[in-house]
Amino acid sequence: MRPIRIAIIGYGKIAADQHEPSIRGNPRLELAASSSRSGKGPKPAFTDWREMLRSVDGLEAVAITTPPKPRYEIARECLAAGLHVLLEKPPCATLSEIEDLACLADARQRTLFATWHARHNAAVPAAAQALAGQQIESMEIKWHEDVRKWHPGQTWIWDAGGFGVFDPGINALSIATAIFPGSLFVAGAKLTVPKGAQTPIAADIVLESAESCGDLACSLDWRRTEGEEWTIRTRTATGSEVLLTEGGARLFVDGTEQPVSGIGEYPDIYRRFVELIDERRSDVDVRPLRLVADCLLVGTSETVEPIDV
Amino acid sequence: MRPIRIAIIGYGKIAADQHEPSIRGNPRLELAASSSRSGKGPKPAFTDWREMLRSVDGLEAVAITTPPKPRYEIARECLAAGLHVLLEKPPCATLSEIEDLACLADARQRTLFATWHARHNAAVPAAAQALAGQQIESMEIKWHEDVRKWHPGQTWIWDAGGFGVFDPGINALSIATAIFPGSLFVAGAKLTVPKGAQTPIAADIVLESAESCGDLACSLDWRRTEGEEWTIRTRTATGSEVLLTEGGARLFVDGTEQPVSGIGEYPDIYRRFVELIDERRSDVDVRPLRLVADCLLVGTSETVEPIDV
């Protein structure tokens, strides 16, 4: 079987670290080209993605790993050109954009895959299985990390559309929506915004669900210099505890670690992309981005002292 | 034909002014009961809507005119009880809630109608018809009014989830999405928030669309004590101007007022609700609320002096 020829648009750090090796490691895919503003990337490397689309023969798919803002326009033209499209998270800058792309992919009968990489940890489907059909007593999400360690010098995270603490936090929401046995809603949110910034450094979110009468809490915090953690602790009505740690990499049920094995987040993303293309289907789950928007719709903001990163 | 027995949940000013007379004026509907916290409303009048659902014989539909926050829970139980549901605008406090209700209505095969009353001005479909199939040169939305005149003493408009200037502004967006011949997206937004408030008093929104290369601007402002206006001015690539004024009540094409006639916003809402029930369909257009959420996702906020209302 001839491999699917795919190009990377927006070749940068995440593309070099994750997308390129995952594509090269998948025998069903062939990395055909790349584009980036610098023109550095797997050859042939372009600085203009439109020129790349015109120049590369037999291109069938693209992975778009630019920042969120330009993704809509790029994806729209790629789908219109008959290409299958994979999007890094978050899929677009706005909900209207990703909903429009989903309609367009449907109309063009092409695969659109809005990826949420954290969901591709092997422990995540295992946790979902452990919680399936359960009544939930409580859920406690803690996504606590040091912004200075993970985003040194990246001032764009504080700009409008930069997502702030929701940039990592949307990973937590992508896992929560994948494992929780029911729909999750935002009842309230307290956003903490540094003076001079447009995006929050911390968010305390109260969630609710028809499948739970207990506390469903999500704490996102970029101010933890010690004791960083990325955990989701869920207790069922029957007294069982399902704990995901390390951002979804490890699973504990009632204190006992569960053996899980997988091929890795990004290799699994590309395995799934090929599967979707084969099945002529799309996978566009907007719920994590929608929950972030809902936090902004119902949340309160409090301004705190400025931060340097 | 036996009329459809309908009850009003959240009977207050908008229900008394608009919903009740529109229901009574529609021969296909029969006002069967009402509920409100005060218990004041058309008889039998309840203080507990759940008791109303249990007590009223042959109830087939409800109109929910409470504030946005409790609507989801009420609508969910009403749909589960097999009732058709009409929602005032905005349909819910969050996008996740209204999307869930749409799924539930579909599963229960009941009609859910998320209304946008401003769209039911007779001039709005006439404007849509004038713009259909046109390339758009520019669109200028101005929704400028005096918050002290329209919301005296209503402090909740400044609280989290209170929408601020988006409360009237979402009417403008509901018209714009109905008349614009293509999809609209938020490219940027500047939100002006009074100190101590959680919601904006003004919003300058830059819209964009694949169907237009020109300026698409939306200015919402609650600080206009003189010269209030609620206008949408659209110019087509062929040089024609389509102007809606007075919140969508009057239509001018190239300066000439166009004769339009209709039965009125709320009577038309109930005409449409009956039609949807007859056709066993729902009408849930989340775009206006999604555009507000998108403004919050990509917008910048600026704090200005506090305001008393």
What tens digit of pLDDT does each residue of B53-64 get? 999 999 999 999
Place of tokens 């200005």: B304
Q: What is the mean pLDDT of chain A?
A: 97
Check CB contact under 8 Å for B296 and A301.
no
Tally Cβ neighbours within 10 Å of residue B203. 26
Measured between CB atoms, which of A185, A293, A297 is closest to B161? A297
- Put simply, the answer to whether B294 touches A293 (Cβ < 8 Å) is yes
Structural Rg of chain B based on CA atoms: 20
Q: How far apart are CA A68 and CA A93, in angstroms?
A: 5
**Whole-angstrom distance, CA of residue A123 vs CA of residue A250:** 6
Classify residue A309 by its DSSP letter.
Answer: -
pLDDT tier, B279 (very low <50, low <70, confident <90, very high otherwise): very high
Q: Residue B96: its chain A contacts at CB < 8 A?
A: 183-186, 287, 290-291, 294
Tens-place pLDDT, residues A4-44: 999 999 999 999 999 999 999 999 999 999 999 999 999 99
Please list the active-site residues of A. Answer: 89
CATH class belonging to A119-262+293-304: alpha beta
Given a cut of 80, whether residue B309 has pLDDT beyond it is no
pLDDT above 90 for A212: no
**Which chain A residue lies closest to B183 (C-alpha atoms)?**
A100
Mean pLDDT, range B229-249, rounded to an integer: 97
Q: What local confidence, expressed as pLDDT, does residue A34 receive? A: 98
Q: What is the DSSP letter of B255?
A: T
Q: Is B160 in Cβ contact with A188 (below 8 Å)?
A: yes
B13 is catalytic: no
The interface predicted TM-score of the complex, written ipTM, equals 0.95
Cα within 13 Å of Cα(A273), Cβ side: 34
- Residue B183 has a pLDDT of 95
Residue A163 has pLDDT above 90, yes or no: yes
Per residue in B62-119, pLDDT (tens digit) is 999 999 999 999 999 999 999 999 999 999 999 999 999 999 999 999 999 999 999 9
pLDDT the model gives residue B213? 83
Q: Which residue of A has its CA nearest to B190?
A: A160
- pLDDT of B162 reads 93
Place of tokens 């329209």: B150
Confidence tier at B283 by pLDDT (50, 70, 90): very high
- How many angstroms separate the CA of residue A95 from the nearest CA in chain B? 6
Mean predicted confidence (pLDDT) in A130-140: 96
In this prediction, residues A144-173 reach a mean pLDDT of: 95
Q: Where in chain B is the domain with CATH 3.30.360.10?
A: 119-260+293-304
Which of these, A141, A119, A143, lies nearest to A285 by C-alpha position? A119
Residue type, A194: P
Interface test with B, best of A96, A101, A163, A208 (most B CBs within 10 A): A96
- Taking only the tens place, the pLDDT of each residue in A63-82 is 999 999 999 999 999 999 99
Set of chain A residues whose Cβ sits within 8 Å of the Cβ of B198? 300-301
Is the alpha carbon torsion for B271, B277, B278, B282 positive or negative?
Answer: positive
Indicate the Cα dihedral angle B184, B190, B196, B201, nearest 10°: -60
Flag if B290 and A99 touch (Cβ within 8 Å).
yes
Burial A111-143 (b: 16+ CB within 10 A, else e): bbbbbbbbbbbbbbbbbbebbeebebbbbebbb
**Out of B93, B95, B291, closest to residue A290 by CB:** B95
Average pLDDT in the A260-274 region? 97
What is the assigned CATH class of domain B119-260+293-304?
A: alpha beta
Q: How confident is the model at residue B26 (pLDDT cuts 50, 70, 90)?
A: very high
The DSSP call for residue A283 is: B
pLDDT over 70 percentage in chain B? 100
The reply to whether residue A290 touches residue B161, judged by beta carbons under 8 angstroms, is no
B181-236, pLDDT tens digit by residue? 999 999 999 999 999 999 999 999 999 998 888 899 999 999 999 999 999 999 99
How much is the pLDDT for A1?
A: 84
To the nearest 10 degrees (0 to 180), the angle between helices A68-80 and A95-108 is: 20
Q: What integer is the mean pLDDT of A266-277? A: 98
Which residues make up the CATH 3.40.50.720 domain(s) of chain B? 4-114
Using DSSP's 3-state secondary structure scheme, residue A68 falls into helix
CB contact under 8 A, A296 and B293: yes
Q: Residue A80: what pLDDT?
A: 97
Look at A186 and B300 and tell me if their CB atoms are within 8 Å: no
Beta strands at B4-9 and B61-64: parallel, antiparallel or unpaired? parallel
pLDDT, averaged across chain B: 97
Is the per-residue pLDDT at B153 higher than 90?
no
Query: C-alpha distances in angstroms, A159 versus A72, A88, A152, A222, B121?
Result: 19, 20, 15, 16, 39
**CA separation for the pair B291, A297 (Å, rounded):** 11
Distance, in Å, from the CA atom of A215 to the CA atom of A196, rounded to the nearest integer, reads 33
Q: Which of B94, B298, B303 is closest, CB to CB, to A185?
A: B94
CATH number of A4-114: 3.40.50.720
Instruction: Kindly report, as residue ranges, where domains of CATH 3.30.360.10 are found in chain A.
Output: 119-262+293-304
Instruction: For an interface test with B, give the residue of A69, A95, A99 to mutate (most B CBs within 10 A).
Output: A95
Q: How confident is the model at residue A213 (pLDDT cuts 50, 70, 90)?
A: confident
- Which residues 105-134 of B are in CB contact (within 8 Å) with A? none
Structural tokens at position A223:
């101010």
Helix boundaries (H) for chain A: 13-14, 20-24, 49-55, 68-80, 95-108, 123-131, 147-150, 166-179, 265-278, 287-298
Pick from A53, A80, A6: which is nearest to A276 by CA? A6
3-state helix, strand, coil in chain A (%, to 5): 35, 30, 35
Please name the residue of chain B whose CA is at the shortest distance from the CA of residue A162.
Answer: B298
What lies within 8 Å, CB to CB, of A175 at 6+ separation is A118, A119, A121, A124, A127, A232, A244, A248
Check whether A309 has a pLDDT greater than 80: no
Residue A198 and residue A159 in contact, taking contact as beta carbons nearer than 8 Å: yes
> Both ends of chain A: CA-CA distance in Å?
49
d(CA B78, CA B82): 7
- DSSP letters of A175-196? HHHHHSSS--EEEEEEEEEETT
> Other CB atoms closer than 10 Å to residue B57's CB: what's the count?
7
As given in the structure block, the two tokens for residue A218 are 């999500």
